[in-house]
Chains A and B, each alone.
Chain A
Amino acid sequence: MGEDAKGEFEPKIIGFTCNWCTYASADLAGTSRKKYPPNTRIIRLMCSGRLDPMFVLKALLNGADGVFIGGCHPGECHYIKGNFYARRRIAALRTILKEFGMDNRVRSEWISASEGDKFATVMREMAENIKKIGPNPLRGKVL
């Protein structure tokens, strides 16, 4: 697990995406056959504002190599301001994780329903970056 056919490290990324924008963009990326890493697991939330930062912590503690959070562009949230609150929460969480060298495993982007390309690009970039920094040091630990 976590390795590709050549035995290379293949990062496992958990993506939390909002129903109205980024989840739809992931869908579009799929239907238009844009390539993005197969080890990405998407969890749909109604809004990025639904993201409890504990979800991110739990994913990391359970060994995810990266956590992606996607929402509508600021000003375009289906619930008007969910992503404004989300942005503060994610910024705070990453600031904390930075003290433990884990912030570069968490990335957030605003991707609209029509940006399937952007979704695929972001996920590829993220996988590349995480390949460089290596597996989550907590992976496999008895926590």
Chain B
Amino acid sequence: MKGAELAIGDLGGFLRSLLEKEVVDCLIVPHRVGNNVAYMLVTDPNKIGSGEEIFIPSFSVNAGGLLKGWTIKSKVGLVAKPCEIRAAIELVKLNQIDKESALLISVDCPGTFENQVYADHKDEIGDWIDSAKIEELKGKGLEIREACKICSNMLADVGDIAIARQDGGDKVVVAALTPMGESALNALELSLEDKDIERKDAKAKIAEAAKNNEASLPKFGSIEALEEFLRDCIVCKNCRDVCPVCYCKECFFDQPLGDPVSGDLLNLGAIRGAVGLPANQLFYHLTRVYHVSATCVGCGACADACPKDIPLTRYYPVITKKVQEMFEYVPGKDVEEPIPFTTYEEEELEDRLR
């Protein structure tokens, strides 16, 4: 792949020039807000910060979801973590984003803290964490999000451009992954050379750690265990609203059968003798986990958003991964690869039906 090495201090200039050279009409990038970082859509290059914000280990929303409905001609550049870019790529496949109008730039992610945790401990955590730092912080009771502990795709390798932070040092490599990415870098007049940011060994290590962490999470094993897990759920559907790959305009669970009131509720009660309220707790979560079974990128935004602190990372990413493994599908890895439910093989899966 073609790429260029930049000093970390040049990242701000790099982002600014994407706007100045009109490679994109706007950028969605992290910016500092008080003690924290959040995303902004920016058209004025002067509003771009130092550029180092892109690595700050704080998770607010999955920015891939912010591009839902971006089917206009004006071009947006999204600079975000791999799980966010992967979500955007799934949304492209779901026809919710016009790929021609989106320049997707993934950045290395070291693992993240919930944004409120980050804000409360900004000075201790800092702008970049490596594995030693993660251990040190853990000793102080500050742990990265569960979703990040079980993530094996934290090194930037998706989208049109990847920004790799070599060894956590003060150099980064900006590399093109697609023709769109390469023409963007060319437009910036960077002198491009062959760069290799594959990092196979590092990835294998991360995947191993992720697997172990996942194996140590509690398992369900029975439907009663799921019932207990969801016991406190108030069916507010926040987990759906923040999910980047839940995109239906009219969710079943906002309609009379899914969100029954008055007569519909009475009918349900009449069928079953009694109905738990708010209605459809299990039905909602079982349906949703099926709906995102191919496309869940494991970002953990759902867990962060739950007002009842249900650790949904143990449910959505963990359960959906079983389906993804069956289809040998990694959501967001390849924009050309169809979502498993939209295609088929004539001979397959017969051993999974009975």
Please state if B220 and A57 are interface contacts (CB–CB under 8 Å).
Answer: no
Please state if B286 and A99 are interface contacts (CB–CB under 8 Å).
Answer: no
Flag whether B201 is at the interface (Cβ < 8 A). Answer: no
Flag whether A38 is at the interface (Cβ < 8 A). Answer: no
* A54-B287, A57-B283, A85-B341 known; A92-B222 Cβ under 8 A: no
Please state if B286 and A94 are interface contacts (CB–CB under 8 Å).
Answer: no
Please state if A92 and B353 are interface contacts (CB–CB under 8 Å).
Answer: no
Please state if A92 and B326 are interface contacts (CB–CB under 8 Å).
Answer: yes
Q: Cα distance A57–B284 when bound, in Å?
A: 10
Flag whether A134 is at the interface (Cβ < 8 A). Answer: no
Q: Cα distance A92–B274 when bound, in Å?
A: 30
Interface string of B319-354 (1 = CB under 8 A from A): 100110011000000000000110011111110111
Listed stretches A5-13, A18-26, A100-108, A111-119; interface member: A100-108
Q: Which of A8-50 contact B (CB under 8 A)?
A: none
User: For residue A96, which residues in chain B have a CB less than 8 angstroms away from its CB?
Assistant: 286, 289-290, 293, 319, 322-323
Please state if B222 and A62 are interface contacts (CB–CB under 8 Å).
Answer: no
8 Å CB contact of B349 from A88, A101, A102, A142: A88
The distance from the CB of A70 to the nearest CB of chain B, in whole angstroms, is: 11
Chain A residue nearest to B320 in the complex (CB): A96
User: Residue among B290, B340, B348 with the most chain A CB within 10 A?
Assistant: B290
* A107-B353, A108-B353 known; A99-B323 Cβ under 8 A: no
Q: Cα distance A141–B178 when bound, in Å?
A: 53
User: For residue A57, which residues in chain B have a CB less than 8 angstroms away from its CB?
Assistant: 283, 286-287, 290
Listed stretches B58-66, B69-77, B151-159, B223-231; interface member: B223-231
Q: Which of B211-268 contact A (CB under 8 A)?
A: 219-227, 252
User: For residue B281, which residues in chain A have a CB less than 8 angstroms away from its CB?
Assistant: 143
Flag whether B271 is at the interface (Cβ < 8 A). Answer: yes
Flag whether B282 is at the interface (Cβ < 8 A). Answer: yes
Flag whether B276 is at the interface (Cβ < 8 A). Answer: yes
* A residues contacting the other copy or chain, number (CB 8 A): 36
Q: Cα distance A87–B326 when bound, in Å?
A: 13
User: Residue among A89, A92, A98, A102 with the most chain B CB within 10 A?
Assistant: A92
Flag whether B1 is at the interface (Cβ < 8 A). Answer: no
Chain A residue nearest to B350 in the complex (CB): A87
Query: How many A-B pairs fall under 8 Å by CB?
Result: 106
The distance from the CB of A129 to the nearest CB of chain B, in whole angstroms, is: 10
Flag whether A131 is at the interface (Cβ < 8 A). Answer: no
8 Å CB contact of B225 from A91, A100, A109: A100
Please state if B287 and A100 are interface contacts (CB–CB under 8 Å).
Answer: no
* A74-B346, A95-B323, A100-B225 known; A89-B354 Cβ under 8 A: no
The distance from the CB of A130 to the nearest CB of chain B, in whole angstroms, is: 13
Please state if A95 and B322 are interface contacts (CB–CB under 8 Å).
Answer: yes
* A90-B353, A91-B352, A95-B323 known; A101-B294 Cβ under 8 A: no
Please state if B348 and A87 are interface contacts (CB–CB under 8 Å).
Answer: yes
User: For residue A88, which residues in chain B have a CB less than 8 angstroms away from its CB?
Assistant: 327, 340-341, 344, 349
The distance from the CB of A88 to the nearest CB of chain B, in whole angstroms, is: 6
Flag whether B272 is at the interface (Cβ < 8 A). Answer: yes
Flag whether B275 is at the interface (Cβ < 8 A). Answer: yes
The distance from the CB of A41 to the nearest CB of chain B, in whole angstroms, is: 14
Q: Which of B280-320 contact A (CB under 8 A)?
A: 281-283, 286-287, 289-290, 293-294, 319
* A96-B323, A142-B274 known; A91-B349 Cβ under 8 A: yes
Please state if B283 and A58 are interface contacts (CB–CB under 8 Å).
Answer: yes
Q: Cα distance A109–B347 when bound, in Å?
A: 14
User: For residue A137, which residues in chain B have a CB less than 8 angstroms away from its CB?
Assistant: 222-224
Please state if B283 and A138 are interface contacts (CB–CB under 8 Å).
Answer: no
User: For residue A58, which residues in chain B have a CB less than 8 angstroms away from its CB?
Assistant: 283
| A-B CB proximity, top 6 nearest | A91-B352, A84-B344, A108-B353, A91-B349, A100-B223, A142-B274
List 16 A–B pairs whose Cβ atoms lie within 8 Å, in order of A's numbering.
Answer: A54-B290, A61-B286, A74-B346, A74-B347, A85-B341, A88-B340, A91-B349, A93-B290, A94-B353, A95-B293, A95-B352, A99-B322, A107-B354, A140-B273, A143-B276, A143-B281
Task: Give me 5 other A-B pairs in contact (C-beta within 8 A), A61-B282, A61-B286, A95-B322 excluded.
Answer: A87-B349, A88-B340, A92-B293, A100-B223, A137-B222
B interface residue numbers (CB < 8 A to A): 219-227, 252, 271-276, 281-283, 286-287, 289-290, 293-294, 319, 322-323, 326-327, 340-341, 344-350, 352-354
